[in-house]
Chain A
Amino acid sequence: MKHLHILFGNLARKKVRTALTVGSFAVAMFLFGILVVVRLAFQAGVEIAGLDRLIIINRTSIIQPMPLAHRDRIQRVPGVTKVTFSNWFGGYYQNEKNFFPIFSIDTDSWLGVYNEFEVPPEQWKAFTEDREGAIVGEKLVERYGWKLGDRIPIKGTIFAGNWEFNLRGIYKGTRQQDDPTQFWFHWKYFDERKEFQKGMAGWYTLRIDNPDNAVRASKAIDQLFANSPYETKTETERTFAANWVKQMGNIEFLILSIGTVVMFTLLLVTGNTMAISVRERVRELAVLKAIGYSDRTVLTLIMLESLVIAALGGAVGLGLAKLFSLRGDPTGGILPIFYLPNIWLLYGFAGALVIGSIAGVIPAVSAMRLRVVEALRRV
């Protein structure tokens, strides 16, 4: 296009103003990127949670355990293929800030149910042979600079005392959303050492042969233990994860409202800037039209100006958000899954262009409608 130098001349006319507008776009799009990351972080667990996996917790409360004896009876329910169990171990490494999920797991059945995690076989073997062994997610290992064979002290909070484990293996998630920050150790060791709740499992996780059987199997299991001292509540892993997110507050709504307010503000800021900048050069636009520039060309010039601002700001903001996300979870554990997929960069960029065109459209149309004779009279 031969007229590009006019466009860039106009953008360069008030450099500070253009920079500020581009800057507000960049800030807003950066925020958008981070909101997406946070949303995905909360949703990640829900989205990948299996429909063919059920979680059984104590009906009274998730913190109440259930007897190990449940296990065999669950196993016999039609449709159930594999069962494992584990307990939550509240604890931290060195100080309370170094918090991550610690589970005591049943080494025989764990990977059969949680088959998205991969552990090198020789490491797994070393782990099973060491009572005090532990398997840790790769991100966690990276965070604390641990090496295989390291002795890791963990301070127990629920089961008080100093616990020590030997790092025997490192697991990897096979999907991007798999939590790479868990810490696993032997349920048997845990059960022997603790002073209360012996022989109890925190929750059961099981696989079923077909997701269609989820409802039937859940009902059958809960019926099995109805009216016993340890009633159960069985849900698919996805429902469980969704309820868990819900407990954290309505994150989705929060993010949506923040996002909307920011985008609306951006629209006003940019629209206003464009309107001012068109008003300032009414005379010039009139001269262009007198010379023979069509209404369409004038409209296009103004629209493009707004779009260039949006594209620049969008690219900068989203680029920064991507860089930020690549550095990983800044909260030190609250958002273990912290990433910005490229498709969302594309959505964001498209969104920026949409806002840019909406912001440009009113000033551009008024420039298009501008009547030369009237504009030339206004000095």
Chain B
Amino acid sequence: MVRVDGENNGRALIQVRNIDMKYRRGSEEIHVLQGLSLDVAEGEFVAFMGPSGSGKTTLLNLIGGLDTPTSGSIRVGGEEISELSSAELTAWRARNVGFIFQMYNLLPVLTAFQNVELPLLLTKLSRADRRRHVEAALSLVGLEDRMKHYPSQLSGGQGQRVAIARAIVADPTFLLCDEPTGDLDRKSAHEILDLLTALSKEHGKTILMVTHDPLAAEHADTILHLDKGELVETVRTEARV
């Protein structure tokens, strides 16, 4: 269940309450998010759309613990993250968030395997366990035969699939995708979206995705529009229920 009115009963996995986000640019103050509320239940696949500069990335960064709001509260699994220190947030991200960015996601000096392994290096897992998890994640995205390849030896779509494998390998609480298909051709984009849909439907992953592409947004359970700092739920196209 997704709500944008702040009236949920507290059972949602992600609860954003009344957050404000202001940026200072010199003397000018930019009010990006104003009193925004959002509830996302576990297992939801939510797409965010909206004009450029409307604050989509800002919202995702706040929910992902990359930044803290000027005011308001963000709870994930009951934990208030807007009050965590920067070091605490870092540790929290490692446990809870899988990030998939638009591009330049992977470390070029590491192989696909090593890139996917990165989040696991922060855990206490043994080398053998790490290997098992990485192989499972890479085969889930269909790249078990590309483990030793470097990012420069992969296509854009393959690179993004490696990024997805890395995002899910440590089994985070939810996934954040900021324009994951923004740099890809139609076909690759479709593969990625199918993959995300499968992660949502078959593995029950909670996914928050920003996109400019209405067709991409169609893959989500819910589409939200962000405009002038406020969220509006879009009427669902019932086509793909």
Contact = CB atoms under 8 A, between A and B. Distances in A.
Interface string A288-311: 111111110000000000000000
A287 B119 contact: no
Contact of B87 (A295, A372, A376, A377): A295
Contact of B118 (A12, A288, A294, A379): A288
Interface string A2-21: 11011001101100000000
Contact of B104 (A9, A288, A293, A379): A379
A373 interface: yes
Given A6-B107, A6-B109, A287-B101, A293 B66 contact: no
A290 B104 contact: no
Interface string B124-140: 00000000000000000
B30 to A, nearest CB: 14
A373 B55 CA distance: 13
Residue in A283, A287, A288, A289 with the greatest tally of chain B CB atoms within 10 Å = A287
A9 B119 contact: no
B91 A291 contact: no
B95 to A, nearest CB: 7
Contacts of A284: 104, 107-108
Main secondary structure of the interface of A (DSSP, over half): helix
A113 to B, nearest CB: 67
Interface string B87-104: 100110111010101011
A287 B98 CA distance: 11
Contacts of B106: 287
Given A5-B114, A6-B107, A291-B99, A372 B66 contact: yes
Contact of B93 (A10, A283, A292, A377): A292
A283 to B, nearest CB: 5
Contacts of A295: 86-87, 90
A206 to B, nearest CB: 70
Given A2-B121, A373-B61, A10 B101 contact: no
Given A289-B90, A290-B66, A379-B104, A10 B109 contact: yes
A9 B110 contact: yes
B66 A373 contact: yes
Given A287-B105, A288-B118, A373-B67, A5 B93 contact: no
Given A3-B121, A287-B101, A294 B91 contact: yes
Given A2-B121, A292-B119, A373-B61, A287 B91 contact: no
B60 to A, nearest CB: 10
Contacts of B97: 290
Interface string A112-139: 0000000000000000000000000000
B198 interface: no
A13 B109 contact: yes
Given A3-B121, A372-B66, A290 B99 contact: yes
A140 B121 CA distance: 62
B110 A5 contact: yes
Given A283-B104, A287-B101, A376-B101, A292 B109 contact: no
Interface of B: 57, 61, 64, 66-67, 86-87, 90-91, 93-95, 97, 99, 101, 103-110, 114, 118-119, 121-122, 166
Given A292-B122, A373-B67, 13 more contacts: A6-B107, A290-B97, A291-B93, A291-B99, A291-B118, A291-B119, A293-B90, A293-B94, A293-B122, A295-B86, A295-B87, A372-B66, A379-B103
Interface of A: 2-3, 5-6, 9-10, 12-13, 283-284, 287-295, 372-373, 376-377, 379
